[in-house]
Each structure stands twice: as structure tokens, then as C-alpha cells.
Structure 1
């Protein structure tokens, strides 16, 4: 009997202009000198406008147990970014979304944990809408909660609701798009990092 060979999840490495440099195993990338790489974030809403907040699994290498946006992840080499979003939504919170829209094509951040581990990502942000109920994958997500978007935004911006550093920065930019997430205009695909434009299906 032949044992299947398990391959590491790979992430796309980027230069300062967002071009692909190559790829590396995800398990080795997040260190005190994390290279710039391609990621995404997604904010999921239900038809009533509630936002799906998620709490990162306690076993995560970066920001374990921290509340954040609905879903985050990394496109695999050659994978369209939108496909990566739908894949990770299914993997992390068991959702198939009815609508997926790019809203912040050029978001970038760098954040350092107390232990020195760094996140360093070009991270396009998407909005999704679903009428389904999430089912959290405990390997990825410790808990989920539907919250009112206006209240969530206010609490993040005034500092009374702790969230991941990327979520806080994203909320600042999303708030500028308007108070109603359903009415946010789609972002310009041409503003995506070149590596993500190549992977846009």
C-alpha cells in the first residue's frame, strides 16, 4: 500500500510592487522576518445586513483566539483570488456565499505580535452575502457571532472592541465606503497587486 504524500500549503511571495517572486510553504513563512506575501480577507453579511465576526482558533500561529473578520487566507500559486476566498469560506466557516465582491483591492498591512512574529501581506478585501448559517471548523475558527455592522464599526473605531490589527485597519477603510455594506461600490480590479490581477478569474 502506497501512503499518499502530503504537500504543504503554499503562499505567493511578492516584491514591493506586488509582483510574484515565487512561493513558499505557509508553515515556514510567518516568522520575525516574514516576507511580503499575497493574502485576502472577507467580510460576510446576511440579507439583514448583520456581519459575521469570527474568533481565530487557539492553535493559530498568528493572533490565536483574537476576534477578526469573517475569513482570511492565502491564494495558492495559480489560484484566482476569488476562488481562494470561496474555498476558505467553505473550509473555515462552512459557507457557500450568494455574492462575492472585491471592495478594497489595494489593502496592505504589516503587524508584529508581542513574541515578534510578523504578518506582512498585500491583502485584497472582499464582501460576501449569504443566507446560510455558518459552521465553524475548530481547526481554523474558535467561535463565530452575527453582529450589527454599525455597532461593530463604532466599537472598533473607538477602541472598545478588540480585534486583529488587520481587521481594525480594514474597518477604517470600509467605514469610508459608506454605512451600508450592501451599497459599497466594487473596487477597481486594476488596483489589485499585479500578482492578484494575474490570478483573477
Structure 2
């Protein structure tokens, strides 16, 4: 059975809650976990490149609870309890962007952050960061993303330096943790 079939999606749409050491402590419904007092939970973030070495940015749907309309990396998501992280990345790539990924590698396996948006909604995640390569152009799910754009790694870094407020805070923090000249983002064609 398809893991994203509608009858399964609601029952299985849980996030994994974590203690301060990153150890699972339980679950919570994804639709209810993001509030002004969001508990630490497991997520992931994925950067997607094309054959030309460009990176995909997406603009979050305007109906999103947190950071609506903000430009960010290709996509983010939450592994379900017991779900292999690689499977979760592939599931979200297909659901949010209609993408099939033909390569996937970890970039920041220990990335963790907490950020508060303008409405007070908190993101508080242990959020491993992945780099993937797309095999086709994205087909945006309008519930997830309203726009997309391919940019060079240099363009992305410049935007983060001069206008960090225009990007999601997790994207800016990820770029700060990837050393310039030594990261997969700066040599994306060599890594995927």
C-alpha cells in the first residue's frame, strides 16, 4: 500500500518528540505540534540541485502555519515514527515538489535549531540536512509551495548575507554552518 495514501496519512502523520539529548520520548500529531511552545522534535531539511549545479529554492505556501510565503531550501519535513530518514526525504520530495531524487547524501547530520516566526510560532527541531539531485523540474503542490527558483550556490550565499530576513531562518543557519569553499553547496556539481 502507498505510504501516502489518504486513509493512512492522517493516522500516521505524527512527529517524533525528543528530549534535550535527541532521544525519542513520544509522538505528537504534526498538525498540532507547531505552536508558540513547540517541543523539540525530529525533522529534516533537503537542498536539491539540478544537472547544472544550481540549487532549488521554494517559497512556502501562504497557508503554512509557520513562515508562510518565506523563501527557503527545496523542502523540509518530518520522518514518521519508525520511518527510515531516507524514505521520509523521498516521500516529501514527491509529495511537495513532484520530484524523484536520484542521489541523496547527508550534509549536516547534527543540525539543530530553534526559531520564532513573526506570528510567534516556534520551530524547534533536530533537523539533519540532506543534499539531493532532481531528475526533472519540480511540480509544486500548492499546499506546500507557491513558487520555485533555481539559483547558483553563490547567489544563495549572497542573498543570505545581504537579506537574511528574506529567507527561512533554518536556511540561513545551515549556510552559516557550511564552511565557504568546503561545503557541498559550494562545490555542488562535484558532490552529486
TM-score (norm 1): 0.85
Are 1:67 and 2:67 matched, yes or no? no
Question: Separation in 2 of the partners of 1:77 and 1:128?
Answer: 23
Question: CA-to-partner distance for each residue in 1:55-79, whole Å, 9 max, x for gaps?
Answer: 0001100000100000100000000
Match of 1:118 among 98, 117, 122: 122
What is aligned with 2:28? Answer: 24
User: Shift of the alpha carbon at 1:162?
Assistant: 1.4
Give the unaligned 5+ runs of structure 1: 186-201
Q: Distance in 2 between matches of 1:183 and 1:103?
A: 14
Aligned with 1:138: secondary structure?
coil
> Following the alignment from structure 1 to structure 2, what is the Cα–Cα distance between the partners of residues 8 and 128?
25
TM-score norm. by structure 2 comes to 0.89
RMSD of Structure 2 on Structure 1 (CA): 1.8
Q: Work out the CA distance in 1 between the residues paired with 2:44 and 2:123.
A: 12
Which of these residues, 57, 79, 82, is aligned with residue 78 of structure 1? 82
Residue 140 (structure 1) aligned with residue 144 (structure 2)? yes
Unaligned runs of 5+ in 2: 1-6
Q: Paired residues, what number?
A: 182
Which of 152, 157, 161 matches 1:157? 161
